[in-house]
Structure 1
Amino acid sequence: MDWKIELLAVPVSDMDRAKDFYVSIGFSADHDHRVSDDIRFVQLTPPGSACSIVLDSNFTEMTAGSVKGIQCVIADADAALAFLRERGVEAGPVDETPWGRFVYFSDPDGNGWALQQLVPYEG
Protein backbone atom coordinates (compact mmCIF):
# COMPACT_ATOMS: atom_id res chain seq x y z
CA MET A 1 0.00 0.00 0.00
CA ASP A 2 1.41 3.41 -1.00
CA TRP A 3 1.15 6.39 1.33
CA LYS A 4 1.73 9.61 -0.56
CA ILE A 5 1.87 12.98 1.12
CA GLU A 6 -0.13 15.27 -1.11
CA LEU A 7 -1.14 18.28 0.97
CA LEU A 8 0.40 20.09 3.95
CA ALA A 9 -1.35 22.84 5.89
CA VAL A 10 0.68 26.04 6.31
CA PRO A 11 -0.90 28.36 8.89
CA VAL A 12 -1.03 32.02 7.85
CA SER A 13 -2.57 35.24 9.15
CA ASP A 14 -3.33 36.87 5.79
CA MET A 15 -4.39 34.61 2.91
CA ASP A 16 -3.83 37.18 0.16
CA ARG A 17 -0.37 38.18 1.41
CA ALA A 18 0.66 34.53 1.76
CA LYS A 19 -0.69 33.59 -1.67
CA ASP A 20 1.14 36.52 -3.28
CA PHE A 21 4.38 35.50 -1.53
CA TYR A 22 4.26 31.86 -2.62
CA VAL A 23 3.26 32.72 -6.20
CA SER A 24 6.16 35.23 -6.34
CA ILE A 25 8.62 32.42 -5.58
CA GLY A 26 7.23 30.14 -8.28
CA PHE A 27 4.44 28.17 -6.63
CA SER A 28 1.50 27.37 -8.88
CA ALA A 29 -1.85 28.71 -7.64
CA ASP A 30 -3.91 25.55 -8.13
CA HIS A 31 -7.12 26.46 -6.30
CA ASP A 32 -8.59 29.51 -4.62
CA HIS A 33 -12.16 28.85 -3.56
CA ARG A 34 -14.28 30.62 -0.99
CA VAL A 35 -16.35 27.80 0.48
CA SER A 36 -18.21 30.05 2.92
CA ASP A 37 -17.74 33.38 4.69
CA ASP A 38 -15.39 31.62 7.12
CA ILE A 39 -13.60 29.14 4.84
CA ARG A 40 -11.29 29.87 1.93
CA PHE A 41 -9.34 27.05 0.32
CA VAL A 42 -6.07 28.18 -1.29
CA GLN A 43 -3.87 25.38 -2.62
CA LEU A 44 -0.41 26.04 -4.07
CA THR A 45 2.25 23.68 -5.43
CA PRO A 46 6.01 24.20 -5.54
CA PRO A 47 7.50 23.77 -9.03
CA GLY A 48 8.03 20.09 -9.82
CA SER A 49 6.44 18.85 -6.60
CA ALA A 50 3.83 16.12 -6.18
CA CYS A 51 2.91 17.63 -2.80
CA SER A 52 1.01 20.89 -2.39
CA ILE A 53 0.34 23.24 0.49
CA VAL A 54 -2.97 24.66 1.63
CA LEU A 55 -2.95 28.06 3.29
CA ASP A 56 -4.55 27.60 6.67
CA SER A 57 -6.26 30.39 8.54
CA ASN A 58 -8.83 28.24 10.31
CA PHE A 59 -8.60 24.57 9.24
CA THR A 60 -6.33 23.51 12.09
CA GLU A 61 -5.40 24.81 15.53
CA MET A 62 -1.88 25.77 14.38
CA THR A 63 -0.98 29.42 14.82
CA ALA A 64 0.29 31.46 11.89
CA GLY A 65 4.00 30.94 11.43
CA SER A 66 4.23 27.82 13.59
CA VAL A 67 5.31 25.36 10.89
CA LYS A 68 9.07 24.81 10.70
CA GLY A 69 11.12 22.44 8.61
CA ILE A 70 9.17 21.97 5.40
CA GLN A 71 11.85 20.77 3.01
CA CYS A 72 12.09 20.71 -0.76
CA VAL A 73 14.89 19.15 -2.80
CA ILE A 74 16.45 21.43 -5.40
CA ALA A 75 19.14 21.06 -8.05
CA ASP A 76 21.31 24.08 -7.18
CA ALA A 77 21.44 25.85 -3.80
CA ASP A 78 23.31 28.86 -5.17
CA ALA A 79 20.74 29.39 -7.92
CA ALA A 80 17.88 28.95 -5.43
CA LEU A 81 19.42 31.50 -3.07
CA ALA A 82 19.86 34.01 -5.90
CA PHE A 83 16.28 33.38 -7.09
CA LEU A 84 14.85 34.05 -3.61
CA ARG A 85 16.97 37.15 -3.01
CA GLU A 86 16.00 38.59 -6.42
CA ARG A 87 12.39 38.41 -5.19
CA GLY A 88 13.18 40.18 -1.94
CA VAL A 89 13.11 37.07 0.26
CA GLU A 90 15.56 37.03 3.16
CA ALA A 91 17.49 33.79 2.77
CA GLY A 92 20.94 32.31 3.10
CA PRO A 93 23.77 32.03 3.09
CA VAL A 94 24.05 28.50 1.72
CA ASP A 95 24.62 26.11 4.62
CA GLU A 96 27.19 23.48 3.62
CA THR A 97 26.81 20.09 5.36
CA PRO A 98 28.05 16.57 4.55
CA TRP A 99 24.45 15.58 3.70
CA GLY A 100 23.53 18.52 1.51
CA ARG A 101 23.68 22.21 0.73
CA PHE A 102 20.77 24.07 2.32
CA VAL A 103 19.02 27.39 1.83
CA TYR A 104 16.65 28.47 4.61
CA PHE A 105 13.88 31.05 4.38
CA SER A 106 10.54 31.91 5.94
CA ASP A 107 7.25 33.14 4.58
CA PRO A 108 5.82 36.47 5.81
CA ASP A 109 4.29 34.75 8.86
CA GLY A 110 7.50 32.93 9.82
CA ASN A 111 6.74 29.43 8.54
CA GLY A 112 10.19 27.95 7.95
CA TRP A 113 11.38 26.27 4.78
CA ALA A 114 14.57 24.43 3.84
CA LEU A 115 15.74 23.89 0.29
CA GLN A 116 18.23 21.01 0.01
CA GLN A 117 20.66 20.38 -2.79
CA LEU A 118 21.66 16.73 -2.49
CA VAL A 119 25.39 16.03 -2.60
CA PRO A 120 27.11 12.76 -3.50
CA TYR A 121 27.68 10.54 -0.49
CA GLU A 122 31.35 10.05 0.28
CA GLY A 123 31.31 7.39 2.96
Structure 2
Amino acid sequence: MDMKLESIVLPVADVDRTTAYYEALGWRVDAAERADGLPIVQVTPPGSACSVVFGVGLAAGAAGSARGLVLSVADLEAARAELTARGVEVGEIFHDASGEASYAETLARAPGLDPGRRDYASFASFADPDGNRWQLREVTAQG
Protein backbone atom coordinates (compact mmCIF):
# COMPACT_ATOMS: atom_id res chain seq x y z
CA MET A 1 0.00 0.00 0.00
CA ASP A 2 1.37 3.42 -0.97
CA MET A 3 1.43 6.05 1.73
CA LYS A 4 2.25 9.67 1.04
CA LEU A 5 2.94 12.27 3.68
CA GLU A 6 0.24 14.90 3.11
CA SER A 7 1.03 17.59 5.66
CA ILE A 8 2.73 18.50 8.91
CA VAL A 9 1.44 20.92 11.53
CA LEU A 10 3.69 23.69 12.86
CA PRO A 11 3.19 25.41 16.20
CA VAL A 12 3.14 29.18 15.62
CA ALA A 13 2.18 32.28 17.61
CA ASP A 14 1.23 34.70 14.82
CA VAL A 15 -0.48 33.20 11.77
CA ASP A 16 -0.29 36.37 9.65
CA ARG A 17 3.44 36.84 10.31
CA THR A 18 4.12 33.16 9.58
CA THR A 19 2.07 33.26 6.37
CA ALA A 20 4.00 36.31 5.14
CA TYR A 21 7.31 34.60 6.00
CA TYR A 22 6.58 31.42 4.03
CA GLU A 23 5.13 33.41 1.12
CA ALA A 24 8.38 35.39 1.01
CA LEU A 25 10.22 32.05 0.71
CA GLY A 26 8.22 31.41 -2.45
CA TRP A 27 5.93 28.81 -0.90
CA ARG A 28 2.43 28.50 -2.35
CA VAL A 29 -0.52 29.36 -0.08
CA ASP A 30 -2.97 26.51 -0.66
CA ALA A 31 -5.63 27.52 1.82
CA ALA A 32 -6.35 30.25 4.32
CA GLU A 33 -9.52 29.57 6.27
CA ARG A 34 -11.08 30.11 9.66
CA ALA A 35 -12.19 27.39 12.03
CA ASP A 36 -13.94 28.42 15.25
CA GLY A 37 -12.90 31.99 14.49
CA LEU A 38 -9.18 31.14 14.31
CA PRO A 39 -7.11 31.28 11.10
CA ILE A 40 -5.70 28.08 9.61
CA VAL A 41 -3.24 28.29 6.72
CA GLN A 42 -1.70 25.63 4.49
CA VAL A 43 1.47 26.34 2.49
CA THR A 44 3.58 24.12 0.22
CA PRO A 45 7.27 24.45 -0.65
CA PRO A 46 8.05 24.56 -4.39
CA GLY A 47 8.18 21.04 -5.82
CA SER A 48 6.92 19.37 -2.64
CA ALA A 49 4.02 16.97 -2.34
CA CYS A 50 3.85 17.64 1.43
CA SER A 51 2.30 20.80 2.83
CA VAL A 52 2.76 22.69 6.09
CA VAL A 53 -0.33 23.66 8.10
CA PHE A 54 -0.36 26.19 10.90
CA GLY A 55 -2.80 28.08 13.05
CA VAL A 56 -2.86 29.19 16.65
CA GLY A 57 -3.57 26.20 18.89
CA LEU A 58 -3.38 23.56 16.14
CA ALA A 59 -0.14 21.93 17.29
CA ALA A 60 0.41 20.40 20.71
CA GLY A 61 3.83 22.01 21.23
CA ALA A 62 4.72 25.58 22.05
CA ALA A 63 5.16 28.03 19.18
CA GLY A 64 8.58 27.48 17.62
CA SER A 65 9.15 24.03 19.12
CA ALA A 66 9.23 22.03 15.87
CA ARG A 67 12.60 20.40 15.11
CA GLY A 68 13.81 17.93 12.51
CA LEU A 69 11.96 19.53 9.60
CA VAL A 70 13.94 18.56 6.51
CA LEU A 71 13.80 20.01 3.02
CA SER A 72 15.77 18.04 0.44
CA VAL A 73 17.40 20.09 -2.30
CA ALA A 74 19.41 19.05 -5.36
CA ASP A 75 21.94 21.87 -4.96
CA LEU A 76 22.54 23.02 -1.40
CA GLU A 77 24.66 26.02 -2.33
CA ALA A 78 22.02 27.30 -4.78
CA ALA A 79 19.17 26.72 -2.31
CA ARG A 80 21.04 28.55 0.46
CA ALA A 81 21.83 31.45 -1.90
CA GLU A 82 18.17 31.72 -2.99
CA LEU A 83 16.86 31.74 0.58
CA THR A 84 19.48 34.26 1.64
CA ALA A 85 18.47 36.48 -1.30
CA ARG A 86 14.89 36.28 0.01
CA GLY A 87 16.03 37.63 3.38
CA VAL A 88 16.28 34.36 5.30
CA GLU A 89 19.12 33.95 7.79
CA VAL A 90 20.51 30.58 6.70
CA GLY A 91 23.43 29.12 8.63
CA GLU A 92 26.65 28.14 6.95
CA ILE A 93 26.81 24.86 5.03
CA PHE A 94 28.18 21.94 7.06
CA HIS A 95 28.64 18.19 6.92
CA ASP A 96 29.16 15.37 9.41
CA ALA A 97 32.80 15.29 10.54
CA SER A 98 32.50 11.55 11.24
CA GLY A 99 31.88 10.87 7.55
CA GLU A 100 28.42 9.50 8.20
CA ALA A 101 25.37 10.68 6.31
CA SER A 102 22.90 11.22 9.14
CA TYR A 103 20.39 13.60 10.61
CA ALA A 104 21.84 17.07 11.07
CA GLU A 105 20.58 17.51 14.63
CA THR A 106 22.80 14.68 15.94
CA LEU A 107 25.99 14.88 13.92
CA ALA A 108 29.47 16.24 14.55
CA ARG A 109 29.58 19.32 12.34
CA ALA A 110 32.42 20.22 10.01
CA PRO A 111 32.32 23.32 7.79
CA GLY A 112 31.47 23.12 4.10
CA LEU A 113 29.96 20.53 1.81
CA ASP A 114 30.62 16.83 2.34
CA PRO A 115 34.01 16.20 0.63
CA GLY A 116 32.56 13.32 -1.40
CA ARG A 117 29.38 15.30 -2.13
CA ARG A 118 27.38 12.27 -0.97
CA ASP A 119 23.61 12.46 -0.75
CA TYR A 120 22.16 13.09 2.74
CA ALA A 121 25.53 14.36 4.03
CA SER A 122 25.55 18.17 3.55
CA PHE A 123 23.29 20.57 5.42
CA ALA A 124 22.36 24.16 6.22
CA SER A 125 19.70 25.31 8.66
CA PHE A 126 17.29 28.17 9.25
CA ALA A 127 14.37 28.99 11.50
CA ASP A 128 11.01 30.62 10.89
CA PRO A 129 9.95 33.68 12.93
CA ASP A 130 8.76 31.51 15.82
CA GLY A 131 11.92 29.40 15.89
CA ASN A 132 10.69 26.24 14.15
CA ARG A 133 13.95 24.72 12.84
CA TRP A 134 14.40 23.63 9.23
CA GLN A 135 17.31 21.71 7.75
CA LEU A 136 18.22 21.89 4.09
CA ARG A 137 19.76 18.57 3.05
CA GLU A 138 21.42 17.94 -0.31
CA VAL A 139 20.01 14.91 -2.14
CA THR A 140 20.78 14.50 -5.84
CA ALA A 141 19.74 10.85 -6.31
CA GLN A 142 16.29 10.34 -7.76
CA GLY A 143 14.26 7.57 -6.21
Q: How high is the TM-score relative to the length of structure 1?
A: 0.89
Q: 1:119: how far off? A: 6.0
Flag structure 2 segments of 5+ consecutive residues without an equivalent: 102-120
Q: Are residues 1:112 and 2:111 paired?
A: no
For the Cα contact (< 8 Å) 1:43–1:53, is it kept in 2?
yes
In structure 1, what is the Cα distance between the partners aligned to 2:78 and 2:57? Answer: 35
Q: Are residues 1:3 and 2:3 paired?
A: yes
In structure 2, what is the Cα distance between the partners aligned to 1:78 and 1:71? Answer: 16
SS at match of 1:113: strand
In structure 1, what is the Cα distance between the partners aligned to 2:136 and 2:49? Answer: 16
Deviations 1:57-88 (A, max 9, x none): 11232110000110011011111111111122
SS at match of 2:82: helix
In structure 1, what is the Cα distance between the partners aligned to 2:48 and 2:89? Answer: 23
For the Cα contact (< 8 Å) 1:101–1:119, is it kept in 2?
no
Shift >3 Å, 4+ stretches: none
In structure 2, what is the Cα distance between the partners aligned to 1:54 and 1:108? Answer: 15
Q: Which moved more, 1:78-87 or 1:92-101?
A: 92-101
Identity across matched positions, percent: 40
In structure 2, what is the Cα distance between the partners aligned to 1:26 and 1:102? Answer: 20
Kindly tell me the number of residue pairs found equivalent between the two proteins: 119
Q: How does 1:1-123 map to 2 (within 5 A)?
A: 1-37=1-37, 39-97=38-96, 98=99, 99=101, 100-118=121-139
RMSD: 1.5
Flag structure 1 segments of 5+ consecutive residues without an equivalent: none
For the Cα contact (< 8 Å) 1:77–1:117, is it kept in 2?
yes
In structure 2, what is the Cα distance between the partners aligned to 1:81 and 1:5? Answer: 25
Q: 1:22: how far off? A: 0.6
